[in-house]
Structure 1
Amino acid sequence: MVQKPAPDSARRSERSRRAIYDAALALVGEVGYPKTTIEGIAARAGVGKQTIYRWWNSKADVLLEAFLDLSEQAARAAAQPGQDPQDGIPDTGDLAADLKLVLRATVDELLDPRFEAPSRALAAEGLVDEQLGAEFVGKLLEPQLQLYVRRLRSAQDQGAVRPEVDPRIALELFVAPLAQRWLQRTGPISHAYTDTLVDYALYGLAPR
């Protein structure tokens, strides 16, 4: 009698986890965050509700982890061959060009339906759920902002940015307006818009 191999629980768990990620992101995009439920995610993923509660405490936790995973996949897909996605913003020696390149990619991501609905849901929920907001900032936003800090410090070393400038504050000159316009829908976001933000941030408003 041929003995069958025992089921691989690790593979089964990973398959279930992936199904839950996909279900959470899909539901938020289709019905919105308020109508997305643990029950709905479980049904969509083909798993029991108890499976979800074994790994997460709430639908917000599920969505945050699913979105972090989606962001990591996108970063790996966008990386050049041999490039580590954690390397961050390219350093060609032309600060304006490097910032424009990255901000254009950010615009593309914010306008991508796969990212837009969960991004808005997490940003909105993070305003009322302090713990979720802190995790969203700590796990996703701040690591991305630190990539700008590294690039601006490199520009300082090259003499392209004044040495007394605080990179963590300076990056907000072009990142914060983009985030505000997108979140509050005060105007369209585009490559031309972020290019202008970089020009205004680096070269100022006064005549030269």
Structure 2
Amino acid sequence: MAETKSPDSSRRSERSRRAIYDAALSLVGEVGYGRATIEGIAARAGVGKQTIYRWWPSKAAVLLEAFIDLGDRAAAAAGEGAYEFPDTGDLAADLKTVLRATVDELLDPVYEAPSRALTAAGIVDPQLGAEFVVKLLEPQLQLYVRRLRVAQEAGDVRGGIDPRIALELLVAPLAHRWLLRTLALSHAYADAVVDYALGGLTPR
């Protein structure tokens, strides 16, 4: 008699988890964070809502994990080294490359809706906000820190500069325009931010 194999629960769980990730991201993109619900995510993923509550305490937690997974998959598809900070020896050029890529990502519908949702949710939920910073934001900011420290060692940045503060001169303007939609984001704007941050505003 042929041996009957029992279902692989781990594979089934992974399929369900992947379906929930995709459902959360697509639903938030279509109807917005406020109108997305656990019930809606469960229905779209083809699972019971109790499955979601067994793994996550809230829709914000689902979305955060789904967004992290989205980034991980993009990094894996891009290949090793694709998401490292460039170091060509030209600090201004490297910063412009990264900020231009940041503009493209902020304006990409795949990333924009969940990014805005998590940012908004993190403001009213301190625990989620802290997780967002630790798991998503800070690892990216540390790439700037390391590149600026290399620039300090090369004499391209003053030795007394705190890289953690300096990087905020670069990323904060983009975040401000994106969050408040005050003016359009563009590559030209990203380039200007780098020029102003590195050159300063006072005459030399």
* TM-score over 0.5 for the pair: yes
Specify the TM-score bucket, using the shorter chain as the normaliser.
over 0.9
For residues 71 and 189 of structure 1, what CA distance do their matches in structure 2 show? 21
- The AA in structure 2 aligned to 1:83 is G
The aligned counterpart of 2:106 is 110
> Helix, strand or coil: the match of 2:89?
coil
Residue 148 of structure 1 is aligned with which of 136, 144, 150?
A: 144
Q: What is the Cα deviation at residue 122 of structure 1?
A: 0.5
Q: Report whether the alignment pairs 1:158 with 2:170.
A: no
Q: Report whether the alignment pairs 1:12 with 2:8.
A: no
Q: Report whether the alignment pairs 1:91 with 2:78.
A: no
Q: What is the Cα deviation at residue 72 of structure 1?
A: 1.8
Q: Encode CA deviations 1:118-161: one digit per residue, 9 max, x unaligned.
A: 00001011111111111111110011101100000010011100
Residue 176 of structure 2 is aligned with which of 180, 185, 190?
A: 180
TM-score normalised by structure 2 residue count: 0.96
TM-score normalised by structure 1 residue count: 0.95
How many residue pairs get matched? 204
> Helix, strand or coil: the match of 2:192?
helix
Q: What is the Cα deviation at residue 207 of structure 1?
A: 2.6
Q: Encode CA deviations 1:91-140: one digit per residue, 9 max, x unaligned.
A: 11111111111111111111110100000001011111111111111110
- CA contact 2:75–2:82 (8 Å) conserved in 1: no
For residues 120 and 83 of structure 1, what CA distance do their matches in structure 2 show? 27
- The AA in structure 1 aligned to 2:118 is L
The aligned counterpart of 1:55 is 55
- CA contact 2:42–2:49 (8 Å) conserved in 1: yes
Q: Encode CA deviations 1:32-70: one digit per residue, 9 max, x unaligned.
A: 111111110000000111111111000000000001111
Relative distance call for 1:139 and 1:43 in structure 2 (3 A) is same
Q: Encode CA deviations 1:5-56: one digit per residue, 9 max, x unaligned.
A: 2211111111111100000000000111111111100000001111111110
Q: What is the Cα deviation at residue 77 of structure 1?
A: 3.2
The aligned counterpart of 1:101 is 97
The aligned counterpart of 2:21 is 21
> Helix, strand or coil: the match of 1:169?
helix
For residues 112 and 39 of structure 1, what CA distance do their matches in structure 2 show? 27
- The AA in structure 1 aligned to 2:174 is L
The aligned counterpart of 1:205 is 201
The aligned counterpart of 1:124 is 120
The aligned counterpart of 1:41 is 41
- CA contact 2:170–2:194 (8 Å) conserved in 1: yes
For residues 99 and 21 of structure 1, what CA distance do their matches in structure 2 show? 32
For residues 116 and 169 of structure 1, what CA distance do their matches in structure 2 show? 25
CA RMSD of aligned residues (A): 1.2
Question: Which consecutive residues of structure 2, in runs of 5 or more, have no partner in the other structure?
Answer: none
- The AA in structure 2 aligned to 1:30 is E
For residues 9 and 93 of structure 1, what CA distance do their matches in structure 2 show? 50
